[in-house]
Every structure is written in structure tokens, then in C-alpha cells.
Amino acid sequence: MGVEGDFLVFDSGKLINFDKTDKTALSVADSWLVENGRVRSLDKHFQRFEKWVTSIEDFPQGLMQNFFDSVSDHLPTEGEWFPRIEFRQQSKLGDRLFLRIRRSPERTSSLTLWSYPEPDPRENPEVKGPDLSLCQQIRRKANLHGADEAVLLDEDGFIADGALSSILWWRGDVLCGPDESTQWLDSITRKELFNLATQAGYQTVSEKCRPEDLNGLEIWSASSLQGVRGVEKWGDLRVGSPQKLTSFRKRLALLGEQIR
């Protein structure tokens, strides 16, 4: 079982504790919420991580699955946690695969947004890892402006992503998100919410929008840590009331499955 603060490296087929921080660049990362041993879509997080990692480097057959099995065995089954798996291509430690066991940060049901005033600065927005530190810095800038999350816009002012979340909105009974013409991270929570909306009989679409195009709409921020949160304020935008939020937060929570 994992312990708070554990940092483990995958070496010779098993995860081993070590007390030093690897300072090499983060190539790929993925994280998820663990609540008393329950996780949403853990297999999808593993699949996404493997897809990203194997696009960079080939591993012997079965190694990634062995890593995922070891990670599952180390996840705590009591309390709230936010573990992260990492691949550091430049590391000289083991197989360059790591697991961090971290307590879950505070979670809320609502938030305030702030539009980052420059074009999306991410160099590789479709992979989580290389730009993670940058996105954390951008979120801290949002905090200095009294907001909880920053929204990244492309060079023409269209919504791409939150710094560490996906931005979604409702047009009546249609759940919407940025389309493929903007670069956004392949969000597992966004997919979960789109699937839940379809199952509930709602339509889903992707579209290219600027923040001002969402005036009066119900707006959400989605992430593996927070699930889905309703936007209370976003600059001078008039934000609609969160009429569908409560029911979808409940639906999302039901997707959690026991680790073991």
C-alpha cells in the first residue's frame, strides 16, 4: 500500500522506493483521483499513458502492463489520494517509469475562471507532461487574479483548454466543448461527461467558440481530480446558473470502480 510522499521508480519489474527526486524533464504524466479505493476509468488512464509513452520510446512487450499492475498494487485503498505516474525519458533510473503517491488537494463544486491574456503557450498540448509545469504556473497567475483556473485561448481568441482542466458548456440541452480545430488535451473526464450526456438523452457537439460566445450559458470545468465543477464567474461574462451540474456530478461519481 502506498504511503503519503512515496516516490517510487519501476526497476527490474517492480516499484522501489527511493528518497531522491529525479530532476530530469517530465516527458509524460497522468494522474487520477482515488477515493477509498475507488477510481474512475483507471484502465483508460493507463491506456492513454501507454499511448503517449510508446509514441516516444519502445518498451519490451509486457513491461508497461507489469508497471500498471504494480501501480495498482501500490494505490491506497483508504482516504482520498491523487497519485501520478510519470515517464522521464532522460532519467538513468530503472525503466524511467515512476509513481508518486500524493494526498488529494482540496476539491470544490464550483470555481472562477480567468482568461490567460496571451495565446496558448503550450509546446505539446496534446500530451500531458512536457507543459505541466508551465500550466501550473499559469494557474498560479489565475490565482493572483482571484480565479481558480486559467482558460487558454488560441491566437485568434478561441477556447482551447483550461490550464489543468477541460472547458465545457451547455446550449440548452446540448453539451458542447472545443472542436478539433483548437489543440486540447485528450481529456478522459470530458469523454465520460459526453458519454453520460448521450446516455441521458442529451445531444453533444464540439464547436469553435470565444469566451464571449458563451454569454449566459452554463459552463463547466472538468478534470480527473475535480470531476466536474460549475463556473460561477468568468471576467465580465454573464454565466448561466448550473442547472445540470448536480445530476452530472452524481452520475460521474457512480463511475468509480474498486481497485482491488
Number of domains in the chain: 2
Same domain, 119 and 48: no
Of 65, 100, 135, the residue that ends a domain is 100
CA 186 vs CA 35, 80, 90, 124, 161: distances in Å: 23, 24, 24, 12, 10
Is the pLDDT at 1 greater than 50? The verdict is no
Residue 5 has what pLDDT? 64
109-126 confidence digits (pLDDT tens): 999 999 999 999 999 999
Q: What is the pLDDT of residue 13?
A: 94
Asked, for residue 259, whether it belongs to a domain, the answer is no
Instruction: Give the chain's mean pLDDT.
Output: 95
Residues 209 and 175 in one domain: yes
pLDDT tens track for 53-80: 999 999 999 999 999 999 999 999 999 9
CATH number for the domain harbouring residue 55:
3.30.470.10
Choose the weakest-confidence range: 82-86, 181-185, 208-212: 181-185
pLDDT at 233: 98
Angstrom distance (rounded) from CA 171 to CA 165: 20
Per-residue model confidence (pLDDT) at position 22 = 86
**3 vs 69: which has the higher pLDDT:** 69
Spatial separation of the C-alpha atoms in residues 260 and 258, rounded to whole Å: 6
Give the pLDDT of residue 18.
84
User: Is 135:257 a contact under the CB 8 Å cutoff?
Assistant: no
Residue 181 reports pLDDT greater than 50 = yes
On whether both 179 and 95 belong to a single domain, the answer is: no
- 86 and 184 in a single domain? The answer is no
Quick: pLDDT tens for 244-260.
999 999 999 999 999 98
The CA distance from 171 to 204, in Å, is 10
Residues 119 and 91 in one domain: no
For residue 260, being part of any structural domain is answered with no
> Is 0.85 surpassed by the pTM of this model?
yes
Q: At residue 183, what is the residue type?
A: Q
Residue 64 lies in a domain: yes
Residue pair 9/16 in contact by the 8 Å Cβ criterion: yes
170 with 196, same domain?
yes
Distances (CA, A) of 193 to 132, 157, 196, 258: 23, 25, 5, 20
Share of the chain above pLDDT 90, in %: 94
Q: Is the dihedral of CA 202, 187, 139, 157 positive or negative?
A: negative
Q: Residue 83: its pLDDT value, please?
A: 98
The sign one gets for the Cα dihedral 32, 36, 39, 40 is negative
Does the structure show a pLDDT above 60 at 161? yes
Report how far apart, in Å, the C-alpha atoms of 205 and of each of 158, 169, 175, 194 are. 16, 10, 6, 9
Per-residue confidence (pLDDT) for residue 37, from 0 to 100: 96
Query: How confident is the model over 166-194, as a mean pLDDT?
Result: 96
Q: What are 28-46's pLDDT values in tens digits?
A: 999 999 999 999 999 999 9
Confidence of residue 2 (pLDDT cuts 50, 70, 90): very low
237 and 193 in one domain? yes
CA distances 46 to 28, 43, 67, 99, Å, are: 12, 5, 10, 12
Can you give the pLDDT at residue 75?
A: 96
- Give the ranges where 55-180 is alpha helix by DSSP (H): 63-74, 132-144
**Amino acid (1-letter code) at residue 73:** D
Q: How far is CA 95 from CA 63, 64, 74, 86, in A?
A: 9, 10, 17, 11
Which pLDDT belongs to residue 214? 98
Write down which residue in 44, 74, 100 finishes a domain: 100
Both 186 and 143 in a single domain?
A: yes
Q: With helix as H, strand as E and coil as C, how does 44-60 read?
A: HHHHHHHHHHHCCCCCC
d(CA 160, CA 178): 6
The answer on 179 and 90 residing in a single domain is no
222 lies in which domain range?
Answer: 110-253
Residue 133 within any structural domain of the chain:
yes
Nearest partner of 53 among 72, 90, 71, 27, judged by Cα:
27
Q: Are residues 90 and 117 in the same domain?
A: no
182: Cβ–Cβ under 8 A, 6 or more apart, which residues?
154, 158, 159, 160, 208
Last residue of a domain, one of 100, 132, 151: 100
Residue with the larger pLDDT of the pair 194 and 5: 194
Mean of pLDDT values over 192-208:
98
Establish how many alpha carbons lie within 13 A of residue 155's alpha carbon, considering only the half-sphere containing its beta carbon.
1
